[in-house]
């Protein structure tokens, strides 16, 4: 690996860490300026002033903001996410299963959407400006134009209520058989697939069409290669970098953008856990979930940048 590539990768990683630190500050500040009193929400409206003062002292709420921030951030770096104010449970232990459920849902949505988007993009290029291309583009544009909650409720109504093929509530648990778990996540996975499919498909189509205008494509045509061979052997391999970039961005969305979908299908993931504790003004849980979502999103973006750098032939083979 050449020195310029190593420098670029190091810069991307350093920028990602700096961005994560900045996001942690925003998350902390945002939760601190929320209206209401944490101690009051825990003890209730009938709490005495002395009880409120004692709890604020116990929780460290009387310390300066910067002290509380660094104490919280240092604990997060060491895996100590604190204790939920609403139920006294350890946040890290509660989030473990929830994060696993969210990643399970995002993984299977990606397994379906990524190959399907690339295949549809290749088919659209092969039949560009034709009826097939227009149908695929129209269908995917229609799916991306609808918000997640609308697609989710449509699937619940037609598939779960009218046809009764799949459950409308995605209840999963640790000892659940694999096939039953797959059946439970079918509707939320389908919703996420429809949401991210269009963006990946259109980027695949645009990237390959851009490569198709290159001079070496004309040379391949003069050699007598069929359009399918040209796309498969020449255009697609050289369009990998932008396609990988958009795929990784959509994978990041699948992990951090599942909040609405999890709430609709009552799926026991991190999104549902976050929404439940926002309603209770459970600040430590909100901070932990927000930082985990941010870390996953930033990490996947860094992987996308590194993949684009490594796959760039101009950087791999500098003149």
Closest CA to 281 of 28, 2, 17, 42: 42
Domains and CATH numbers, the chain: 100-279 (1.10.3720.10)
DSSP string, 235-259: IHHHTHHHHHHHHHHHHHHHHHS-H
Question: What does each of the 319 residues of the chain score in pLDDT, given as a tens digit?
Answer: 567 778 888 888 999 999 999 999 998 888 777 766 666 666 666 777 777 778 777 777 777 778 888 888 888 888 778 788 777 778 888 888 888 898 899 889 989 888 888 888 888 888 878 888 888 888 877 877 788 888 888 899 898 888 888 888 888 888 888 898 899 899 999 998 888 888 888 888 888 888 777 777 777 777 777 777 777 777 777 777 777 778 887 888 887 778 888 888 988 888 888 888 877 777 888 888 888 888 888 888 888 788 777 766 565 555 5
CA distance 46 to 52: 10
- Three-class secondary structure of residue 90 per DSSP: strand
Q: How far is CA 261 from CA 183, 269, 272, 300, 304, in A?
A: 16, 10, 9, 21, 25
C-alpha–C-alpha distance, residues 97 and 173, integer Å: 9
Short-list 268, 266, 259, CA closest to 156: 266
**pTM: predicted TM-score of the whole model, two decimal places:** 0.79
Q: 């902390």: which residue's tokens?
A: 28
Q: Which residue has the tokens 């949401």?
A: 195
């Amino acid at each position: 690996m050449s020195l310029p590539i190593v420098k670029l990768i190091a810069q991307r990683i350093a920028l990602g860490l700096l961005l994560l630190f900045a996001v942690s500050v925003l998350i902390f500040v945002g939760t601190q300026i929320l209206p209401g009193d944490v101690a009051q929400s825990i003890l209730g409206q009938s709490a005495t002033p002395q009880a409120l003062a004692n709890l604020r002292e116990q929780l460290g709420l009387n310390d300066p903001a910067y002290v509380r921030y660094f104490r919280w951030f240092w604990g997060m770096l060491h895996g100590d996410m604190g204790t939920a104010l609403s139920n006294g449970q350890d946040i890290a232990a509660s989030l473990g299963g929830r994060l696993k459920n969210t990643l399970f849902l995002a993984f299977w949505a990606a397994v379906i959407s990524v190959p399907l988007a690339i295949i549809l993009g290749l088919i659209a290029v092969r039949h560009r400006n034709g009826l097939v291309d227009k149908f695929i583009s129209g269908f995917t544009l229609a799916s991306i134009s609808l918000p997640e909650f609308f697609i989710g409720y449509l699937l619940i109504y037609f598939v779960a209520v009218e046809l009764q093929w799949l459950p409308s509530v995605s209840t999963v648990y640790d000892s659940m058989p694999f096939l039953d778990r797959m059946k439970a996540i079918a509707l939320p996975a389908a919703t996420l697939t429809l949401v991210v499919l269009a963006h990946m498909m259109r980027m695949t189509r645009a990237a390959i069409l851009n490569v198709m205008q290159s001079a070496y494509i004309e040379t391949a045509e003069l050699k007598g290669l069929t359009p399918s061979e040209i796309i498969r052997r020449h255009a697609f391999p050289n369009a990998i970098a932008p396609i990988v970039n958009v795929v990784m961005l959509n994978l990041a969305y699948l992990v951090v953008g599942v909040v609405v979908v999890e709430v609709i299908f009552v799926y026991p993931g991190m999104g549902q856990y976050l929404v439940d504790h926002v309603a209770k003004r459970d600040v430590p849980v909100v901070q932990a979930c927000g930082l985990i979502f941010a870390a996953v999103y930033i990490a996947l973006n860094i992987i996308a940048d590194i993949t684009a750098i490594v796959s760039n032939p101009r950087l791999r083979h500098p003149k």
